[in-house]
Amino acid sequence: MKLCVIGLGYIGLPTSVMFAIHDVDVHGVDVNKHVIETVRKGQLHIEERGLKEKLKTVIKNGKLTVSSTPKKADVFIICVPTPLDENKKTDLSHVKSAARSIVPFLEKGNLIILESTVPPKTTERILAPILETSGLKVGEDLFVAHSPERVLPGKMMQELVENDRVIGGIDERSALKTADVYKTFVKGHLYLTDAQTAELVKLIENTYRDVNIALANELALIAEKLNIDIWEAIRLANYHPRVNVHLPGPGVGGHCIAIDPWFIIEQAPEEAKLISLARRINEAVPSRVIEWIDRVVKDIEQPTITLFGLSYKANVDDTRESPALAIYKELSKKNYRVKIHDPFVKKKLPEQVDTIEKALEGSDCLVLLTDHDYYKHIELPSYQSLFKTKNIIDTRNLYAHVPLEQYGFSYYQLGTPRHPFAKKEEKR
């Protein structure tokens, strides 16, 4: 089998490598020259555990080749981004141009799989007509399917193999052929359905998480008002065998959960009431964190704020839609000196520093935004002399176990009575 993968990003690159190590001849395509040059050298332009060594192997043995133009193949997989435009409408321009780019290379019997997350009916109404400009007919000459990726950044190499997959064919033969392709390495179950159901399944998965996180964020607000610790309450509620409340935090980031619900809202705005509200609740959280910071440093002249974490979640370098980035941008508009530390994110902002010492030197308030394991293990009290004012805002419940108040820190914790708007006697 010859495979051509369009888009060598967070999903396309690990997928290409996975096929290549299973002896498939893969040709990877990307519009970004830097990506092509980096991958060709066997190097990574993204951070993903366990990927580098495998990439090196398949570049070296020639199983994976890369260039900026597609090649003839038996199977084409499209893994390009589907962002939102400024009006929160799906921008399908990358899917469309990826599809157009393979048209000249299509031959009778080819299978085209769309992995990008898309609104329901995109495969049938947008992808298929573009492919048919080749003169070949979908359902007769070409097989077409949607099979959304479901892997978790940071665990992709494991989850690509182990996770179950949903495969939505434009017809039954397309679904069966697609299943054969993924059987190359997938050990999880392959569930076959039609394309539009598969498209909705993916959106449901991430919308479920978004709504659940919105509930957690709302419960955090309620807990602050009632002087209850929400982390403890959620932990105990989740001992119920049929309850799985997610966790509050500084907001919802990433390229999926903060975006996919909009694909549903766009198609059914009247009906998607709860989904819209959940989005609004989650989008409002970063400004609450700003209010907390403003309150904590209100009596300090030109305060220095230290942000721990820039990526959207723990142990990854990805900053797409990161609430930490939104918080940083808001803080930069104020009369604050901001310092940012993130052990995963390569320097991209002038305020970023590379050591804990530099980050905490002269700080008036440390704000923990991303719960990297790295931060869990640092002994904050041993850095206390670096602080100018010993304030800590913990948005991830990372430091509750450290007796910070005994060391003279003012410790504020999201979703608990320890918040900066609490009256003194209410604080615990």
Binding site for ligand SAJ (CB under 6 A): 149-153, 205-206, 209, 213, 246-247, 249, 252-254, 256-257, 312-313
CB of 397 to ligand SAJ, least distance (A): 11
Strand 143-146 relative to strand 165-169, pairing: antiparallel
**Residue closer to ligand SAJ (CB basis): 35 or 326:** 326
Cα 314 off chain centre by? 11
Could you identify the residue written with the tokens 């993916």?
Answer: 202
Closest approach, Cβ 388 to ligand SAJ, in A, equals 29
Active site residue 423: no
Q: Which two tokens stand for residue 401?
A: 């176990």
Provide the H-helix boundaries in 243-386: 260-267, 273-296, 323-332, 356-360, 373-376
Cβ of residue 159: shortest distance to ligand SAJ, in angstroms? Answer: 7
Start-to-end C-alpha separation, the chain: 64
Contacts of 360 (CB under 8 A, 6+ apart): 306, 366, 383, 386, 387
Total Cβ atoms within 10 A of residue 118: 25
How much of the chain is in helix, strand and coil states, percent to nearest 5?
40, 15, 45
* Phi, psi angle pair for 160, to nearest 5°: -55, -35
Pair of tokens at residue 25: 């001849």
Helix (H, G, I), strand (E, B) or coil at 232: helix
Work out how close the CB of 104 gets to ligand SAJ at its nearest, in angstroms, rounded to a whole number.
30
Q: How far, in Å, CA of 217 to CA of 211, rounded? A: 10
Whose structure tokens read 């990854």? Answer: 316
Give 26 or 230: the residue with its C-beta nearer to ligand SAJ: 230
| Catalytically annotated residue among 63, 177, 202, 390 | 202
Q: Cβ closer to ligand SAJ: 36 or 211?
A: 211
Q: Which residue intervals of 4-49 are DSSP H helices? A: 12-21, 33-40
Q: Would you say 9 or 139 has its CB closer to ligand SAJ?
A: 9
Closest to ligand SAJ by CB, 72 or 320: 320
Which residue lies nearer to ligand SAJ by CB, 246 or 339? 246
**Structure tokens belonging to residue 202:** 């993916």
Q: How far apart are CA 76 and CA 28, in angstroms?
A: 10
427 is catalytic: no
Kindly name the residue from 256, 339, 365, 390 that is annotated as catalytic: 256
Tell the smallest beta-carbon distance from residue 39 to ligand SAJ (Å): 20
Least distance (Å) between residue 322 CB and ligand SAJ: 7
> Which positions are annotated as active-site residues?
202, 256
